[in-house]
Structure 1
Amino acid sequence: MAGEWHTAVADFIGAMEMEGVKPTEPIAQRLASGELIRFHSDGDGKGRQNGWAILYLDDRPAGAFGNYRLGISRKWRVDRDLSLSPEEKRKLQEEWAAAKAKRKEERERSEGEAARDARDIWSSASPVSLEHPYLARKRLDPFLFREREGRLLVPMYDGSGSLWNLQRIAGDGTKRFLRGGRTDGLFFLMGDMSRKGEIVCIGEGVATMAAVCRSTGYPCIAAFSAKNLGAVARLWNSARPDLHFIICGDDDSHLPKNIGREVAEAAAHEIGAKVAFPLGRAA
């Protein structure tokens, strides 16, 4: 019977692919965890994870999947009963727990290596040139950044102030993180947050939040991505309950699913913050 559950996972992935949601990486073991996963799909841009899926492997397996870029959202289920004996369930649970522990170990190792690389790169980098095209175009404060091999370096910190990763921005605006590096819960801070009761703005991109900081005078925090916005908002709301937060959302109305607006509204609702959006579509 355990083999039928593995078949259910394969059937689920097959249903995804028939709908055009085609993972470019192995996801079977991650699906077996029963948690919502994100992954790179065929047709996604480099570094993007627009695919998502969740699968519940109970007596009648069911799940859902989709792709934010394609605007796809589908439900899926198995009609037949796949009840397992207690022994079969125990073996599967042990197998999935071992796979999950291995993934966690590999992820932590990769993130640790990237963090060491980030510290080495940051410490040896040069002051950013005032002629850097992205710096000049976005009117960024050069004293907050460094430069290496023509790329603007943005440090990515956790709540304790440890440097874990770097966002590297080319002159044309192409952005890359260090391969295998941590991104969850990391942020970049602009402005002075030492005063109690201060208004603080939290949003996605560094350039966007730099513009907000420049125009309002409020301290600003960049979370780097839509999927990281909620984690950063929760972190700061917990660490500094004396502050008044405004979530500055991207308006992705040009996409099939307005992720920027949805995640901003969700984050604002969760921490009891105000929310703001650009009057026109964000560039």
Structure 2
Amino acid sequence: MNSHSEIDSSFKTAMLNAGINPPDNLIGDGQLHRFYVGGDRKGTLNGAYTLHLDNWPSGFVMSFKTGVTFTWTASGKKQPMAAAMKRQIEYARQVRQQEQDKAHQAAAEKARFIWQQAANN
């Protein structure tokens, strides 16, 4: 597997096999990228991936919606995850948790407002 298109295709196939619809365009820069995974509100960035296109093509995928996570290598061999990758994953989890906390807070405030309006009528 030599070309970027072959690597992209194989990585996307692994995502599909895990029940995750991949984004149309993958970026193989080794950075964490967020994308929409079907089944959640439109526009949410409820998935994340990292794709490395170096000498040992590999990647990581996470769906915040389903909880599915996996690592992938073009060779099919399991390799230990780098410390930098673990930090990126933890950062993505923290960002997602903050987003959920904000959404829950907004929903609670809206519910309180509606309840107060109903009580006053």
Q: How much has 1:15 moved relative to structure 2?
A: 0.4
CA distance, structure 2, for counterparts of residue 61 and residue 7 of structure 1: 11
Deviations 1:34-90 (A, max 9, x none): 21111112222212121211011111111110211101000100228xxxxxxxxxx
Partner residue in 1 for 2:42: 46
Which secondary structure state, in structure 1, belongs to the residue aligned with residue 70 of structure 2? Answer: strand
Partner residue in 1 for 2:28: 32
Which secondary structure state, in structure 2, belongs to the residue aligned with residue 54 of structure 1? Answer: strand
Partner residue in 2 for 1:72: 68
Deviations 1:166-197 (A, max 9, x none): xxxxxxxxxxxxxxxxxxxxxxxxxxxxxxxx
The alpha-carbon distance between structure 1 residues 207 and 60, as it changes in their structure 2 partners (threshold 3 A), is: closer
CA distance, structure 1, for counterparts of residue 52 and residue 39 of structure 2: 27
**Which aligned pairs between 1:246-265 and structure 2 lie closer than 5 A?**
none
CA distance, structure 2, for counterparts of residue 77 and residue 43 of structure 1: 27
CA distance, structure 1, for counterparts of residue 36 and residue 49 of structure 2: 11
Aligned residues: 85
Partner residue in 2 for 1:250: none
CA distance, structure 1, for counterparts of residue 106 and residue 57 of structure 2: 44
Larger Rg: 1
| Structure 2 residue ranges without an equivalent (≥5) | 77-100, 111-121
User: Does 2:106 align with 1:207?
Assistant: yes
- The code of the aligned residue for 1:21 comes to I
CA distance, structure 2, for counterparts of residue 14 and residue 208 of structure 1: 37
TM-score (norm 1): 0.27
CA distance, structure 2, for counterparts of residue 41 and residue 209 of structure 1: 25
The alpha-carbon distance between structure 1 residues 209 and 5, as it changes in their structure 2 partners (threshold 3 A), is: same
- The code of the aligned residue for 1:6 comes to S
- The code of the aligned residue for 1:79 comes to S
Q: How much has 1:4 moved relative to structure 2?
A: 2.2
CA distance, structure 1, for counterparts of residue 55 and residue 106 of structure 2: 49
Which secondary structure state, in structure 1, belongs to the residue aligned with residue 3 of structure 2? Answer: helix
Which secondary structure state, in structure 2, belongs to the residue aligned with residue 204 of structure 1? Answer: helix
Asked which structure has the greater RCO (Cα within 8 Å, sep 6+), the reply is 2
| Percentage of matched positions with identical amino acids | 28
CA distance, structure 2, for counterparts of residue 79 and residue 207 of structure 1: 45
CA distance, structure 1, for counterparts of residue 38 and residue 10 of structure 2: 18
User: Does 2:56 align with 1:60?
Assistant: yes
Give the RMSD, CA atoms, in angstroms: 2.6
**Which aligned pairs between 1:61-210 and structure 2 lie closer than 5 A?**
61-79=57-75, 204-205=102-103, 207=106
CA distance, structure 2, for counterparts of residue 210 and residue 79 of structure 1: 50
Structure 1 or 2: more helix by fraction: 2
TM-score (norm 2): 0.58
